[in-house]
Structures are given as C-alpha cells and as structure tokens.
Structure 1
Amino acid sequence: MAARCGYTAKGMIYITIGWLSMMAVLGMGGSNGGSSEAIGELASQPFGGVLITLLAIGLFGYTAWRLVQAIFDAEQKGRDWKGILTRLGYVLSGLIYAGIAINCVELLLHSGGSSGSTSSHTREVMSHPGGIVAIFLVGLGFLGVGLRQIWRGWHHSYEKNWHLNEMTRTQRLIAANVSRVGLTARGIVFMIIALFLCLSAIHTNPDNARGLGGALRAVAEQPFGPWLLGLVSIGLMAYGCYCLVNARFRNVNA
C-alpha cells in the first residue's frame, strides 16, 4: 500500500510540473519550476491542505518502499557491484522524495516550505573537503540515471515489474507508449541536470548548478525553446502517467 500511494504521489508531482511548463509555453501562466513550484500550485487549489497532506503521506510511503528495495533487496538486484549501485540509487531516490515530503509538511505548518535552491545546496557541499569531487560524481550519477531511463524506455525493461496478466491488450499498448515517452523525457532532463552539475564542479562555481526547474528553463532558452519545452512538458506528464501505471500494476511485494 505504501508503495502504491508513493507512486501515485510521485505521478501527481510530475504531471503538475509538466502541466505548469505547458501552461508557460502557451502563455497561460504556469512556470518552469520543479517540485517546490508543483507543490505550491497544488496547495493553492481548493482543499489544497488536504492535497498536500495526502501528497506528503504518499511520498513518505514511497521513501519507505525505496528503503525496503535497498535494504531487503526486494527486487533481487544482488550484491555484486551493479546490484549495490542500484540499491544505493534506491536509497538516494528515497532520500530525495523524503525531502520533498518534508517540504510538504513545512508548507502545511506555514514555516516556508522551501528546501533551498540547487545552487545553494551545491555551494554547501563544495565548502567541505572533497566537495567539488562529490558534486562532479553526483553529476555523473545523474548522467548515468538519465541514460538508463532512456534505455529502459526503449527496451521496455520496466514491463517485467508489471502484472501484465491483469492488463488488457489496449492497456498494455497505451502504458508502453506512455512509459517510453515519459522515461525518455525524464532521462533527457536528468542529463541536462548532470551537465550543469559537472560544469559547476569543473568551474568551481555553484551558481552553474541547476535542478529540474533550472533544466526546464535551460530548454526554454534554446533556439526553438518553446517547441522543445512543449515536448519535454508532454514527456514529463507522460512520466507522471507512467508512475500511475506503476501504482496500479507494479509488483510491489517485499
């Protein structure tokens, strides 16, 4: 149950991020932001407090599921170097979404709800011994995750985790195409984030670092930016739908 609630919450965040970016492209308001902006938008809706409460619960559930995957090797990744790296990735993912959940709680408690910018976090890490190397390695990590997301999207490797017998042929076709688009878009965005993190480390300038919102703004600044951002926005909404498919059909047995 915690995992399914978590995938639902994650899906809603990405759908909201994609929707806000699309609205910005169409000149209908919106913004090119990340999770904080998406949470703020949800909070501004009728019954926003209830939405944010449910979102926080779901994200804490997702964190718990990631930790179960990592600690108990729920998906049998093994203990070789590849399996260990994958399980460490689960831990990192869980911590990231725990941070977003805490941001939701802070917003509910009217204590700001801001987790700080990517550049400020980068500056903090760089201030410690070995921090520059750590940022560069994190950038390489994002690059690896981005490439893997694209690989998974085009090779349908995610389907082995689904209860395909519970899906109709039409559902399988729609889910496969939505997942391919969504994973590819998220992979591209992660690779952009990786580029900025690595440049930040190379130039010892934390202001170069960008998170999801910064990556979307970078896309918008390119030639044909609105068209590119529109495609990425659709892709992020598709990734949100992929998360919702996971919430319904994914095998989450621990």
Structure 2
Amino acid sequence: MGGQRTTTGAAGRAGDSEALEHLARIGLIAYGMVHVLVAWLALQLAWGGGGQSADQSGALATLAATPVGKPLLWVLAVGLVALALWQAAEVLRWRSGWSASGDQRSRALKKSGKALVKAVVYLALAWTAFRFATGGGQSSSGQQQQTTAGVLGWPGGRWLVAAAGLVLVGVGVHHVVKGLKKSFLKEIDLASAPPAAERTVTRLGQAGYPAKGVALALVGALLVYAALTFDPAKASGLDGALRTILDAPFGQLLLTLVALGIAAFGAFCFVRARYPERT
C-alpha cells in the first residue's frame, strides 16, 4: 500500500507540475493548430483548390513548407508529447480508484481509459510532427491503407478492421452527442472565466465537436467498408472521409460546414488551453 501511495503521489505531483502544465497548454494550442490547418485544407478541397491531403499529414506538410515550418513542427511535437505525458499522469492519478467500489471505481476506470486513449492519440500525432520536422513525413491515408492491407492479411483480420471502424464510428457519434448536449463543459473548470469567455467556449464546442464527430464516424465507416469489401484502398482516412462528403448531394456546402466546424474545434483548443481540466 505504501508503494501504491508513493506512485500515486508521484503521479499527482507530475500531473500538477507547473512546467508540464505550461507545456501541455502549448500542446493544446498545437493540437488546435492542426485542426485549423485541416479545416483550411478541407475548404480548399471544397472550393476546387485542394493540393495537400485534407488530414493531419497534409496539415503538417503544409506547415513544413513554410519558412518557419520546421521550428514550429519541433515546438508542436514537444507540446504534444507534454500533452501525452499529462494524460499519462492522469491515468496514474486515478489508479488509486481502480480498487474502490461502486461509482468511485467506475469513474476512476472511465477517467483512466479516456486519458490513456488521449495519450496514445497525442503521441501518434507528435511522432507524425517529428517525422515531418526531420523530412521523413508521408501521407497518413497511404499509411492507413498499408496498415489496413497488412491487418486484412491476418487470420480474422477482416473482423479486426471492422471492429476498429465500428469503434471510430462510436467515437464519432460520442463527439456529436457531446457537442449537442454541451457535456464537454463538465470537463473544463470555467469558475474563473468571465461570461463572454464561457459563451465563446460553449459556442465553439457546440460547433466543433459535432463536426469532428461526423468526420471520425465517416473514417470509421470507410474502415468497415474496407473490411466488408476486403479492399484496403477504401480505408482512405480523414482525407477520404472529407472527399466522401464532397461527393454527396450538396457536398460542397456540407464539406464547407464540416470544415468550419473543424476550425471551430481548433479554436476551442486554443481557448481550452487557458482553463484547467475539471477533476
């Protein structure tokens, strides 16, 4: 028990570290920047000026091509690693509740699971930023197709790909519901925020979460389609999902709305960096 208290205490100190918190704020700003760039690429795709893939890799490639792109990518990668470490510290901080009972245990497991998933996402994005900073980046849609092709070749691989797609669909639906019900406000401590800032956070979250949710659900649906047709080319990632929206009836308008929503999510991350997470 003493060892567990020591570990939990160390995790709590790590999570409350002022230096790590400042770096995590930089990470949130970097995360928001990626979404704003993806939104810009999606708008270009909607209005006939698309060049880079409208996804995270395209956003980072766009940033890398600017005169100050490489230094910014390093800052982005470091910030995202700090954000991942912050979430990893959250997992350890809630570890003491795993052995509790009832609602306390359920809450601890839920918080730990969400923090772990976020840490993995931030680390993956940080690695992508690092690759582009060192000149080794490549299209994430191409990587996803290669990965999907490899998994489809495994025994039962088709079911694994389909399951991954269904999970993404579920995450997307969760994002949509989270935005519509404004439940994201439960995760942010706005006690010190003026009314105007609270309204801004609310409006950005209401627009951003559903738009991101729609995009994620479509990425998941394409993965399920790839599994059903045994065709990894169908697993075209976020870029493919946005192009699917463009090909739909009124696609240009729909893609514009989704792009503006993704930009709103990016702006939400900028504002989110100002306020602490509610425990």
Q: TM-score, normalised by structure 1?
A: 0.88
| Aligned residue number for residue 117 of structure 2 | 92
| Aligned residue number for residue 135 of structure 2 | 110
Deviation at 1:84, TM superposition (A): 4.2
- Secondary structure in structure 2 of the residue aligned to 1:165: coil
Residue pair 2:188, 2:278 contacting (<8 A) in 1 also: no
In structure 1, distance between residues paired with 2:166 and 2:83: 24
Q: Select between 120-129 and 230-239 the one with higher mean Cα deviation.
A: 120-129
Amino acid at match of 2:127: I
Deviation at 1:218, TM superposition (A): 0.9
| Aligned residue number for residue 19 of structure 1 | 40
Structure 2 unaligned spans of 5+: 1-20, 98-102
Of residues 147, 162, 168, the one that matches 1:142 is 168
In structure 2, distance between residues paired with 1:159 and 1:242: 11
2:231 equivalent to 1:210: no
Residue pair 1:42, 1:52 contacting (<8 A) in 2 also: yes
The structure with the larger Rg is 2
Instruction: Give the direction of change, closer, same or farther, for the CA distance of 1:124–1:16 in structure 2 (3 Å limit).
Output: same
| Aligned residue number for residue 66 of structure 1 | 87
Q: What are the residue-to-residue correspondences of 1:36-185 with 2, within 5 Å? A: 36-73=57-94, 79-80=105-106, 84=109, 87-114=112-139, 116-185=142-211
Amino acid at match of 1:98: L
Instruction: Give the direction of change, closer, same or farther, for the CA distance of 1:113–1:210 in structure 2 (3 Å limit).
Output: closer
| CA shift digits 1:35-78 (9 cap, x unpaired) | 0000011111221111111111111122222323334338x795
Query: How much is the aligned-residue C-alpha RMSD, in angstroms?
Result: 2.4
In structure 2, distance between residues paired with 1:65 and 1:215: 30
In structure 2, distance between residues paired with 1:130 and 1:65: 35
Q: Select between 87-96 and 164-173 the one with higher mean Cα deviation.
A: 87-96
Amino acid at match of 1:151: V
Q: Select between 105-114 and 133-142 the one with higher mean Cα deviation.
A: 105-114
Amino acid at match of 1:23: Q
Amino acid at match of 2:245: V
Residue pair 2:176, 2:210 contacting (<8 A) in 1 also: yes
Deviation at 1:220, TM superposition (A): 1.1
Instruction: Give the direction of change, closer, same or farther, for the CA distance of 1:87–1:218 in structure 2 (3 Å limit).
Output: farther
